[in-house]
Structure 1
């Protein structure tokens, strides 16, 4: 993410910090866990999400209210969450519960993870395809999925209308024509967060796929050598896209970070950015009336290749060696399945929970994405199942391309070298 503040905020919530669960207990016999004889239990939680924090705090307050004597100390990590988590593990300060990206990143921590495979009462609460993102190579359920997230281009519908764009561009030629119309109307077409390498890294994955090969297929083919970046049908179109983003964007694109990017989109200062529906709450904070939607990314001359990317991206691991294992399990289940947990995800962040639910999702972007999901106009996420460090590493190569310090050929070669190494 997803998706992520540029600072690290450590919250030790005293009267309202997270622990256990009441109505969704996973303890033996179904009884909620709480401290006894006046003892204090502290649960250590590492959370990588930077959205919906107000709702998160309310969820925690409710949880603690139901668990007298329990205190949850939460580190909300933003941009550098992977490094911060790894540093804690290296220092043998492993949280009782921690969030990590699904796939490659999560697999690094399976040795510390509680195996949920026998907890069918918990597993069955989630959609099977979401649980599938939280398994190891043997099919063991090593974590619990958070939400469905959709990634792609976001566009400002009012600015498109102002420029006279009546149909969404589905090819790169059509995208260029849209940019010309926006410029003629005095509108900045792009505000890509090129300062944040991970944004460019995630953007690049659109151009690694088409409708003939999905995310899993690309990763498998790259791993066995049957596909290279040089021979990917749409990969060179990535550089044409970045050229458009430079030509019709800010004069200094590498000064635009994710927050500035989202601010410009929401406040009618730019028409297109690259981001996901996890940004809904921040976009709303900039302008709750912003008229925004997904633009399936044009990656070729084939309209059918234009997709958004959809996955259950983040997952929660419970430390199997936690001195408060049952409470840690309870807490993980609570934040993902309880009414308060769904309030955090569906109302606070505005995205679709991975748990089975009829709860209405308030996020306009998440609801907009449903039409593309239903139409099969999606593909999967490569960056979560790619080699570790993919987004930040390849994103730095693309930054060098945008500054003129690397050619398209050099960047393509470095993508390949990174993957092989």
Structure 2
């Protein structure tokens, strides 16, 4: 996530053991709120429920615990439940961790018991689950559609039908520690991948580990680097914007896999192999690494004294990937799988609330995620967020991320193959073949 999606930030002192909550009926932890108030949301209908009963909306989420979207979600959840206290109640089923969330949704899909509303934080489950999702096309009018960036509708639609309601865009480059760069004699971010590896050598010579990487949970940090490497030329850029590719046996992909193997074997931390995103983030926070690929949702943690030392944010710079590449695309939004008209209406009201201009503004200010709605802006955001957006506006190549476009089983396969690639047990060609074989199963 997502990952995509999902916000992938966790503090050094907060990383710990979190029990994976199961869904209702399977030991779920439910969160319910009460008191009525008014949020002034103009997109959502109001008034009492015609049936006279409170309709429960089931919504599992990974926006819990140390997820940086937790505060935003709790704010929006409370506001919705208060505004609709005489009509609806959202029953939240907490599942800690992006991969655990996706795995649980897959189980529910297999048993034909998807919840009312799903938000996978960027993971593409539409192609494998749209037969149980509601086609939302009839419920999205022209005014609503025009208010949202077109790239956001593109990634949430299949064959002309809308299956996801967008709320944010993916704008991703990488962050670097300016102090560590200066210590290594590096003046500015690399313009080419050859220069990038030369800078990695300079960092190593100065006693600094260059890059945060990972392999677990689809290897988010590593896969961002992989995608940017693939997009170094026209063919690679086209590949990274292709929905559901089945052939990874291309020169661009194999060359990029070779560079990833080189990074694993020479330029990252020992805990990268088998490690999760949290390991890579912690290493960057602790200044054990100089570079981390990620989106602007990470920026608020650069200012959080519970996660980093005071003044850490002043050390951080933003950069496009070599070749002026940026992830700049839509993100998978909210899906609905309600089984009855009554539940569908309730779910639509909830999703409209969560994706409203007010909610997107709060999301921008509280998490740093870039709104899907084109007119939502704020002066109350961190300067580094503005820098990331400016980088995206200057990028020569704009790509989408793997979690949004690749088959779900291919995303799963990455975590199996990365450790083998890193340890030299398979070649870049064999890595590409393994993903191709996984894609061909669909």
Same fold (TM over 0.5): yes
Q: Which residue of 1 aligns with 2:204?
A: 183
Q: Which residue of 1 aligns with 2:399?
A: 380
| Residue 393 of structure 1: how far off its partner (Å) | 0.7
Q: Which residue of 1 aligns with 2:84?
A: 67
Q: Which residue of 2 aligns with 1:348?
A: 366
Q: Which residue of 2 aligns with 1:119?
A: 140
On the 8 A contact 2:116/2:336 being kept in 1, the answer is yes
Distance 1:390 1:277, change over 3 A: farther
Structure 2 residue corresponding to 1:135, chosen from 151, 157, 171: 157
Which 5+ residue runs of structure 2 have no aligned equivalent? Answer: 9-16, 22-27
Separation in 2, partners of 1:258, 1:33: 44
RMSD over aligned Cα atoms? 3.2
- SS of the residue corresponding to residue 258 of structure 2 reads helix
| Residue 131 of structure 1: how far off its partner (Å) | 1.8
1:292 aligns with 2:316: yes
| Residue 310 of structure 1: how far off its partner (Å) | 1.9
Distance 1:76 1:149, change over 3 A: farther
Separation in 2, partners of 1:234, 1:361: 40
Distance 1:330 1:366, change over 3 A: same
On the 8 A contact 1:207/1:235 being kept in 2, the answer is no
The one-character-per-residue Cα deviations of 1:42-93 (angstroms, maximum 9, x if unpaired) are: 2111335433211211221112221123321123442222221122233343
1:2 aligns with 2:13: no
Q: Which residue of 1 aligns with 2:41?
A: 23
On the 8 A contact 2:57/2:116 being kept in 1, the answer is yes
On the 8 A contact 1:18/1:61 being kept in 2, the answer is no
The one-character-per-residue Cα deviations of 1:332-368 (angstroms, maximum 9, x if unpaired) are: 011111424431x212221111023133462555422
Distance 1:408 1:318, change over 3 A: closer
Distance 1:334 1:84, change over 3 A: same
The one-character-per-residue Cα deviations of 1:159-201 (angstroms, maximum 9, x if unpaired) are: 2123221121122321222122212322221221234433234
- SS of the residue corresponding to residue 324 of structure 1 reads helix
1:248 aligns with 2:270: no
| TM-score of the superposed pair, with normalisation by structure 2 | 0.80
Q: Which residue of 2 aligns with 1:51?
A: 68
Separation in 1, partners of 2:108, 2:204: 48
Distance 1:260 1:95, change over 3 A: same
Which 5+ residue runs of structure 1 have no aligned equivalent? Answer: 299-304
The one-character-per-residue Cα deviations of 1:292-345 (angstroms, maximum 9, x if unpaired) are: 3443334xxxxxx341222222211123534332221111011111424431x2
Q: Which residue of 1 aligns with 2:24?
A: none
1:235 aligns with 2:254: yes
| Residue 98 of structure 1: how far off its partner (Å) | 1.1
| TM-score of the superposed pair, with normalisation by structure 1 | 0.84
The one-character-per-residue Cα deviations of 1:255-310 (angstroms, maximum 9, x if unpaired) are: 53211211221232210123333333455442273333443334xxxxxx341222
Separation in 2, partners of 1:153, 1:392: 24
1:205 aligns with 2:203: no
Structure 1 runs of 4+ off > 6 angstroms? 17-21
On the 8 A contact 1:307/1:378 being kept in 2, the answer is yes
Structure 1 residue corresponding to 2:56, chosen from 37, 42, 46: 42
The one-character-per-residue Cα deviations of 1:99-121 (angstroms, maximum 9, x if unpaired) are: 13668522333332142345314
Count of matched residue pairs:
406
Q: Which residue of 2 aligns with 1:279?
A: 298
On the 8 A contact 1:114/1:317 being kept in 2, the answer is no
